[in-house]
Amino acid sequence: MATVDSTVRAGAPTARGADAGPPAQPAGIGPYRLALRRLRRNKVALAFGALFLLIVVLCLCAPLYAAHVAHTGPNENHVTETVTIGGVAKDVVSPTGQPIGPTWQGRFLLGADQNGRDIAVRLLYGGRNSLEVGGIATLVTMTLATVVGIVAGFFRGFVDGVLARMLDLIWAYPVVLLGIALGTSLALGGITVGPLQLHGNSLLVPAFIIGIVYIPYVAKPIRGQVLGLREQEFVDAARVGGAGPLRIMWSEILPNVSSTLVVFVPLMIANAILLEAALSYLGAGVQPPNPSWGTMISDGIRLIPSAMHLTFVPGAMLVLAVLGVNVFGDGVRDALDPRAKVRLEEHAEGASR
């Protein structure tokens, strides 16, 4: 088992390898390079990863689109203005409140909403907000869940008891309900923790809420994994070598759970984006007038019979983004999972025969 010891010390792809012993790998190729090689073979995952990346890039370009193409900001109202289509001036919002549909030109490419705001601009800015919230929430979840999971699993006993019960407490509430409760209350007063102060309409409020409600979903598996790792010989060796708990957790345990964390990242991004959309739809996430895909769907509901694009377009973007990151995440998981590798190689061998 010396190879196992040396592999995990170097930061093995998964702790499951420590339990069962990873299959032999070609000499001179690191585990992550091997994972990357396997990922490159998964064309479907790469295609969906590219789709997600494209959406991210498009959303990051929102200010450029707003300034140079649409010539309006995401929250700018144009209720009584007109737009010229084919030489004919048309109301952005009709006297009876009906917004214009897609113009397929720079201004109001995808039409306007009830307030005469450019849907395409709001869609891109909304995507930025949704992705920003999803990204920050994932960062919060992964950071706190890693700390909590490793500390609880490593120390066990009283510390584990307290932390595990706290995780149970959060887990006991349905995610959406907990998010609504926190979102509604914090949207009014914001968050003040010592010198840190967040206003109610800050994007960081829903990001922190989502980040916190998902902590148990990552921390619990990490804790379980650490409970097994702390009994491994390499941990005993480090302890005998004089390393303290912090050093062992940082240098020995963390590298061995890193591949699990990598697998969780796309999954949590997808979940965070979905929860953000749900909370924003219900008024407990991104606060108006700031756009997000969730708030845009909510705003468009009123006009579904006559302007379905108001709900369909942000809904489609949401589906594509979540699908992209989920399928790509599955590919990453398969690539990092040595058992999956065995399956893949067996499959490849079978195919070559």
In the complex, the residues that contact another protein under the rule CB under 8 A are 75-77, 79-80, 93-98, 114-116, 187-188, 199-201, 283, 287-289, 301-307
H or E stretch at 42? none
We find the least distance from the C-beta atom of residue 303 to another protein, in angstroms, to be: 4
Q: What backbone torsions phi and psi does residue 118 show, to the nearest 5 degrees?
A: -70, 120
Task: Please list the residues that pair with 89 across neighbouring strands.
Answer: 84
We find the least distance from the C-beta atom of residue 280 to another protein, in angstroms, to be: 12
Distance CA(302)–CA(323), nearest Å, equals 27
We find the least distance from the C-beta atom of residue 341 to another protein, in angstroms, to be: 50
Query: Per the structure block, which two tokens stand in for 270?
Result: 């997808």
Q: Closer to another protein at the Cβ: 169 or 301?
A: 301
Q: Closer to another protein at the Cβ: 99 or 127?
A: 99
We find the least distance from the C-beta atom of residue 307 to another protein, in angstroms, to be: 7
Q: What backbone torsions phi and psi does residue 170 show, to the nearest 5 degrees?
A: -70, -40
| Residue carrying structure tokens 């579904």 | 304
We find the least distance from the C-beta atom of residue 92 to another protein, in angstroms, to be: 9
We find the least distance from the C-beta atom of residue 103 to another protein, in angstroms, to be: 18
We find the least distance from the C-beta atom of residue 316 to another protein, in angstroms, to be: 20
Note the helical H segments in the chain: 2-9, 16-20, 31-41, 43-60, 62-65, 119-155, 157-172, 175-189, 204-213, 215-229, 233-240, 245-247, 254-281, 293-300, 309-336, 338-352
We find the least distance from the C-beta atom of residue 138 to another protein, in angstroms, to be: 26
Q: For residue 174, how many other CB atoms are within 10 A of its CB?
A: 10
Q: Closer to another protein at the Cβ: 20 or 301?
A: 301
Q: Closer to another protein at the Cβ: 258 or 287?
A: 287
Q: Which residues contact 286 (CB under 8 A, 6 or more apart)?
A: 129, 130, 133, 203, 206, 276, 280, 292, 294, 295
Q: Closer to another protein at the Cβ: 301 or 348?
A: 301
Distance CA(231)–CA(235), nearest Å, equals 7
Nearest to 120, CA basis, from 83, 160, 158: 83
Q: With contact defined as beta carbons under 8 Å apart, do 301 and 311 qualify?
A: yes
Q: Closer to another protein at the Cβ: 99 or 331?
A: 99
Q: Closer to another protein at the Cβ: 91 or 337?
A: 91
Q: Closer to another protein at the Cβ: 66 or 268?
A: 66
Nearest to 119, CA basis, from 195, 66, 170: 66
Q: What backbone torsions phi and psi does residue 99 show, to the nearest 5 degrees?
A: -75, 155
